[in-house]
Amino acid sequence: MLRNRVRELRARDNYSQTELGKLIGVTRQTIGLIEKGDYEPSVKLALKIADVFDLSLEEIFWLEKERKAD
């Protein structure tokens, strides 16, 4: 399962779901779905999210079993 830190990073940078959605061109609902893990974003959308937070993809998204291996 794909995990992510989008909620945490959004809180860090003080963005609302709507604001983050506008920055990457999606709706507030899609941000909510990604944060809850209900939807796994496309590579393109994940890269846009990474770009907003100025981090690499791996610092935001990871596979659950890989995390456990750490």
Partner 1 sequence: MLERILRSPLLMISILIYLGIVYVGVQEGWSKALLFYPFLISFLIYFAFVYIHNKRNPDKRIKWITYIPYELREDDEGLQWITFKATRKVYIFYSFAIPIGIVLYTFFHEVISYFTIWMLVGFGIIQYLIYWLETKDILKGEE
* Residues lying near partner 1 in the complex (CB under 8 A): 25-34, 39, 41-42, 45
Min dist CB 35 to partner 1, Å, is 11
- Cα–Cα separations (whole angstroms), residue 56 to 28, 34, 47, 48, 53: 22, 17, 8, 10, 9
Q: What is the nearest approach in angstroms of partner 1 to the Cβ of residue 62?
A: 20
Kindly tell me which of 1 and 69 has the beta carbon lying closer to partner 1.
1
Which residues, other chains included, contact 53 with Cβ-Cβ below 8 Å and sequence gap of 6+? 9, 13, 60
Question: Least distance to partner 1 from the beta carbon of 24, Å?
Answer: 9
